[in-house]
Structure 1
């Protein structure tokens, strides 16, 4: 029996869907994740690089992303940050880092 997509896949899908709803569809350039654990929580650290045409909607979305809510099955998004932004002509490439925590 399949358990469904993992936290990394869910986060990627939610990120792309949220951007599309904000009027700035993204292209996924690269994505990686590593397992993470503390004394009380298990989860993963995610690094996702995306690209999109430069626009005021994209600028606003990137600025508001750290406060965004994400609905992932069996996981909470505990932290999101845009750590790198590169502008080249009419495109923007951004690196988004996130921490997801497994719900118990």
Structure 2
């Protein structure tokens, strides 16, 4: 599992922090972009990343659960899902080959989004 504690750090990151976000595993940078897409308030409840490979490519398979809070959580979940598969992601040395919402659920004033993504190393 990849740590995501640094995602909620203040936005003025130094070069060392930015370098860590754009390291070998693209998950931290992808999580930051997913949270930005979800809007505030939102948290990553769970995020896992494991190696993936085919005959021609290598990358990582990610499983992510995001929880959105607030009176507008349902509207933000719908906006988050709209066009997710066509969205552009900025990942150093990787690209998102596939991303999809696997499950979503609602509760009073909160929404859950469970999604999976496949990132491929871009040589």
Q: Verify same fold: TM over 0.5.
A: yes
> What aligned pairs does 1:50-89 form with structure 2 within 5 A after superposition?
50-53=66-69, 54-89=73-108
Deviation by residue 1:32-82 (Cα, 9 ceiling, x = unmatched): 011000111000010010000323233122232122110101100011101
User: Within 2, Cα distance between the matches of 1:10 and 1:40?
Assistant: 24
Aligned to 1:33: 49
Q: Higher RCO, 1 or 2 (CA under 8 Å, sep at least 6)?
A: 1
Partner of 1:99, secondary structure, is strand
Q: CA–CA distance in 2 between the matches of 1:82 and 1:63?
A: 11
How far apart, in 1, do the equivalents of 2:111 and 2:37 lie? Answer: 17
Give the Cα separation in 1 of the matches to 2:76 and 2:113.
14
Distance 2:36 2:76 in 1: 14
What is the distance in 1 between the residues matched to 2:34 and 2:89?
8
Match of 1:13 in 2: 32
Unmatched segments (≥5 aa) in structure 2: 1-15
Q: Confirm or deny that 1:47 pairs with 2:63.
A: yes
Give aligned pairs, total: 100
RMSD value, Cα: 1.7
What secondary structure sits across from 2:56 in the alignment? coil
